[in-house]
A and B are shown apart, each in its own frame.
Chain A
Amino acid sequence: MAALDPHRWIYPTPQGLYCVAGDFYVDPAQPVERALITHGHGDHARAGHEHVLSTPETAEIMKIRLGQGAGQISEAPLGKPMTIKDARVKFVPAGHILGSAQIVIEHSGRCVVVSGDYKRTSDPTCLPFETVRCDLFITEATFGLPVFCHEPPDKEVARLLGSLAANPDRTHLLGVYALGKCQRMIMMLRKAGYDAPIFLHGALVNLCSLYQRLGVNLGELLPVTERDPARYQGAIVMCPPSAIADRWARRFGDALSCFASGWMRVRGRARQRGAELPLVISDHADWPELIDTIRETGASEVWVTHGREDALVHQLGTMGLKARALALVGFEDEDD
């Protein structure tokens, strides 16, 4: 049988990216009958699908976050090939968060990789990204501008620890995304030798417990309960970014606000957020990683799902690749 152009069997629809050959959607924005989910973040793993296929870790995350809404979940262990109708499907590590996967789809002699969200820098909470050679690479572009070039994460963690040492009287209030960034920051702090208890905002507690249950050792974590500021003096308190400017944060007195996010690369964004200590740590590929990854896949065609598509599509064009922006709805600028 002659190879069939991927355009014929995978394409964007209003519900999301649809694969005809396997009759499934990848990370659909609306409830569908069969969904393959790359990872547990809310804009990728939505409630209301009938059948869901994901890695075991993503399945656990979805159950915690969506409860009954998670749907009927089948587990796809990383690296195990499967057949869904006329498509061969395999989940491979994406290096984004615990359980995150790229989805490799083969049909009629062609290979398509849907990256989901990914990064190439090391992350002690998940398996590293694995490059799969393919014909069509469907990528994210959250940081799809050449100004985004993240700092080495160890350097940023060292800055946080340096600030703690220099300001032993101030609570360090660290704004992080609840799933992924939070646990990665904790693990990096532990690896850097920080073994004091870390305090958690209530919104972070469940997911951290899940990570611990799945074998990620986060050390001693304590929920923020009392209003006694002395207890938190000189400690790290982690919370969702929005909580820093919220009434909740008042109990810490003159706290030092830190944010760990790729957006902190740009001073204007850091200032907008009111970050006193911006840490450039991201769970998404920066510009050089995006370009290198695309090159390594050997793909002759690239689709961009979400993010700053204009610059990436332009750049790929100058590299002689076919590139298009899918402008899929429903994805957010996460890593906030």
Chain B
Amino acid sequence: MDRFADVLDRLVTTTQRNGKIRLLANYFRSTPDPDRGFALAALTDGLPMSFPMRRVVAEIMEPHIDPVLYRLSRDYVGDTAETVALLWRSREPHGMAPRLSEVIETLKRTSTREMPRVVASFLDRLDANGRWALLKFLGGALRVGVSARLARISLAQGMGAAVEEIEEVWHAIAPPYTDLFQWLEGVGPRPDPGQRPVFRPVMLAHPIEDGDWASLEPQDFVAEWKWDGIRVQIVSIGEQVKVFSRAGDDISQSFPDVAQAFFGRHGVLDGELLIAKDGEVRPFNELQQRLNRKSVTERMMQQYPAHVRLYDLLFDGAQDLRALSFTERRARLEDWFARARPVAADLSELVGIENFTELRTVWSATRESGIEGLMLKRLSSPYLAGRPKGHWYKWKRAPLTADCVLMYAQRGSGKRSSYYSDYTFGAWRIGEEGKPELVPVGKAYSGFTDEELLSLDRWIRNNTIERFGPVRAVKPALVLEVAFDAIQSSSRHKSGIAMRFPRIHRIRWDKPAEEADRLETLLRLIPR
């Protein structure tokens, strides 16, 4: 528990991703089973037990502290686990700090009625930091700035493995993952998914760069449209269907309609999840309505019908096709599709390539809704996990741009903590009194060089009109050319629009602010 508490505590104040990976990698490498497995569970899938936090806290704190003092403390600290950890005064000299596994095993055997007493005795054996970590651990949501994927990346780093290997067996294992650790340490067999529907690491593309073209031959490649949805993997085995996101998260619950469509149609498929009505792909924000939902109503499914555009076939039934070339897999995919005929799915269209000049014409002329650009896939490539070089390229269509006016700047964090590096910018509209006013349309914190950051920082400090904590309002005098992938309507923003992937394209030191774009111009970019 002490080591886990120490790592957790340091994760809270570590802002750099690499620093977090180092901390966790070291922890996984040097902590015994099954404790490290329970820590991994807390960072990924959650604990293999439910814990009635609210009731336990209420019961253990009631005799421990005056309710007024508890309320004032909770209000100040803003986090229940931390408040309890800081208020707790151990009743007896500390015993040995419990191990994570002891906590889990004891609580599994404990009746709900007895839980408060058992938790209190654990708290007695820990210092303030340990108490905080214990309660965070039992609460299920650690909130230390580590995603499930980052935890797996750290694990891979710590054990000297590729994260894809871990992702491939992830859904075949359960906390405390002892079989996984044994396999990673070379003392046990690879965990066998057996008849369970498990995720296979997906193949990703590199953005194509100007220098790449010269080394590519058009006859070696095929092109496909790049759709603006989310990449999914559908695994249908036996009586089960799972829908996984690109990172291996199980999102089946949000998309029962997709699971239903692939029921009994055995295989592992790679595709793009979209919302489509009458064969028309809908804007991304309609798909967003359906993401991250624990359950979905019939009405939601009718209003935003899911559709899968299939790219690839990894397994045909139980047969692994990943070593085959794209050409062969595509033929098998077409064959599979003809047999299975899943509803709410179709095949991704192949775009023939005569030569790259012609392809560029097609690429630049396409403004169809839902298309982000083109994918180039090498015909001879097998299906490889991760982002291998030289096989798949993504060629995003030229971004949209708008000239916006810098309104607010905020200091960054970590290395950027002394720089104003987060920018809120606006577009002009006519205000209530008939005068032009700026309305915020987006926020960006990338796209500029270090030197430009310095100049922006200096400009902001010299042109501040008001300060609110880490935020400065600036004179409406600097035009930023902002690039973005799309504009969506949004009821959450005052402007009524939301930009997708906004970034600073150019700083227009030369352009007068009055000549920046108007909100109407941006509104016209919303796809209908």
Contact = CB atoms under 8 A, between A and B. Distances in A.
B49 interface: no
A68 to B, nearest CB: 31
Contacts, number: 70
Interface in B81-96: 82-83, 86-87
Query: Could you say which of A149, A265, A266, A277 has the most chain B C-beta atoms within 10 Å of its C-beta?
Result: A266
Contact of B76 (A266, A275, A277, A278): A266
A332 interface: no
A139 to B, nearest CB: 17
B29 interface: no
A268 B72 contact: no
Interface stretch (B182-190, B270-278, B410-418, B498-506): B410-418
Interface of B is mostly: helix
B109 to A, nearest CB: 32
Given A245-B418, A271-B12, A277-B13, A147 B76 contact: yes
Contact of B418 (A246, A254, A277): A246
Contacts of B14: 276
B128 interface: yes
Contacts of B72: 145, 308, 310-311, 314
A146 B13 contact: no
Contacts of A311: 68-69, 72-73
B15 A315 contact: no
Contacts of B82: 266-268
Interface in A262-300: 265-268, 270-271, 274-278
A274 to B, nearest CB: 5
Interface residues of B, number: 26
Contacts of A249: 418
B472 to A, nearest CB: 13
B113 to A, nearest CB: 28
A146 B77 CA distance: 11
B65 interface: yes
Interface string B118-137: 00000000001000100000
Contacts of B86: 146-149, 265-266
A322 interface: no
Interface residues of A, number: 30
Interface in B138-172: none
A267 B411 contact: no
B368 interface: no
A314 B413 CA distance: 39
B21 to A, nearest CB: 16
Nearest to B73: A147
A146 B79 contact: no
B354 interface: no
Interface in B407-462: 411, 413-415, 417-418
Contacts of B128: 149
Given A267-B82, A310-B72, A247 B12 contact: no
A233 to B, nearest CB: 16
A60 to B, nearest CB: 34
Contacts of B69: 145-146, 311, 314-315
A249 to B, nearest CB: 6
B87 A267 contact: no
A146 B87 contact: yes
A318 interface: yes
A267 B83 CA distance: 10
Query: Could you say which of B65, B411, B418 has the most chain A C-beta atoms within 10 Å of its C-beta?
Result: B418
Nearest to B75: A145
B435 to A, nearest CB: 36
B441 to A, nearest CB: 28
Contact of A275 (B13, B66, B77, B78): B13
A110 interface: no
Nearest to B70: A146
A274 B417 contact: yes
Contact of A267 (B66, B79, B413): B79
A250 interface: yes
Interface in B286-333: none
Nearest to A266: B77
Contacts of A267: 12-13, 79, 82, 132
Contacts of A147: 73, 76-77, 83, 86-87
Interface string B7-44: 00000111100000000000000000000000000000
A146 B418 contact: no
A218 B87 CA distance: 36
Nearest to B470: A245
B479 to A, nearest CB: 25
Interface in A236-263: 244-247, 249-250, 254, 257
Contacts of B15: 274, 276
- Chain A to chain B: the 8 pairs with minimum beta-carbon distance, closest first: A147-B86, A147-B73, A311-B72, A245-B417, A276-B13, A274-B417, A314-B68, A146-B69
Given A147-B76, A249-B418, A266-B77, 14 more contacts: A147-B83, A147-B86, A149-B86, A244-B417, A245-B417, A245-B418, A250-B418, A257-B417, A267-B12, A267-B79, A267-B82, A268-B78, A278-B13, A311-B73
15 contacts: A145-B69, A145-B72, A146-B65, A147-B73, A147-B77, A147-B83, A147-B86, A257-B417, A267-B79, A268-B78, A270-B13, A277-B13, A311-B68, A311-B69, A314-B72
Interface of B: 12-15, 65-66, 68-69, 72-73, 76-79, 82-83, 86-87, 128, 132, 411, 413-415, 417-418
